[in-house]
Amino acid sequence: MAIWDDVIPSEDLKMFAKAKMGGTVLYGEKPAIIVVDMTYGFVDSAYPLGCSSMGWPTVRANKRLLDKGREADIPIFFTKCKKSNKPVERGRWKYQNKFEEKIFDPKEYQIVQEIKPKINEVVITKIFPSAFFGTNLVSMLVYHNVDVLIITGMVTSGCIRATVVDGFSYNFPIIIPEECVADRGAVSHKVSLFDMHMKYADVIPLSNVIKYIDKCKNK
């Protein structure tokens, strides 16, 4: 049973099946892991955009994945957001005026300690949803000869989806470990996973991703 089966109507499933969407992408042999915005501001409910009930289990799942990725010497990239008091830098987020109403807490923009990047792992600071937009991520992926992306983090309907679509647009096969992504809303999480699985990526269990990394390691 897929995680989205309780929210996607049968008629919708029939339409996607008619279009022959879904299936499995062809994986490469040189994966990279991209951990998107696993900061306290998104993970922890103490912050306006955070959701502890979904965020902290996702942190634990990401730790399992990162432990395996580091063991296999896979390139790992992190992203985090940038705080700015300038509207032109913040962009046109629909909640942007709320930023001016709260006291700045630098911890909000820090990657959670449990999956803190190692000294040799790149942390990309971004403003907009996609890890690719306005960054040199593609160049670094080319440097490592990466041919498949494992994308994790928060939130599924926002920065994860934007990063997946951009990665797909650069012709990277994409894997999303189901337990390693989260949202602040269960329905938007499930619907976004369904839509990405139908068109842009493989949404598969973390256990399968770990097996895939083991195969790459042994080649």
DSSP string for residues in 57-121: HHHHHHHHHHHHHHHTT--EEEEEE---S-HHHH---TTGGGGGGS---GGGGSBPGGGPPPTTS
- Which comes out higher in pLDDT, residue 65 or 83? 65
Which pLDDT does position 95 carry in this prediction? 60
* Cβ burial 7-30 (10 Å sphere, 16+ → b, else e): ebeeeebeebeeeeeeeeeebeee
Query: Tokens 């440097």 map to which residue?
Result: 143
- Is 88 a residue whose pLDDT tops 90? no
Which pLDDT does position 94 carry in this prediction? 56
CA dist 100 and 46 (Å) reads 18
Question: Would you tell me which CATH number, out of the four given (3.40.50.970, 3.40.50.850, 3.40.640.10, 3.40.50.720), belongs to the domain 27-217?
Answer: 3.40.50.850
Which pLDDT does position 103 carry in this prediction? 59
Determine contact, residues 58/38, Cβ cutoff 8 Å.
yes
Give residue-wise pLDDT tens across range 104-154: 688 999 999 999 999 999 999 998 999 999 999 999 999 999 999 999 999
Q: For the whole model, what pTM was predicted?
A: 0.92
- Is 97 a residue whose pLDDT tops 70? no
Task: Please state, for a pLDDT cut of 90, what percent of the chain lies above it.
Answer: 79
Domain residue ranges of the chain, discontinuous segments joined by +:
27-217
Computed over every residue of the chain, the mean pLDDT equals: 91
- The tokens for 81 are 């957001």
- The tokens for 128 are 């907009």
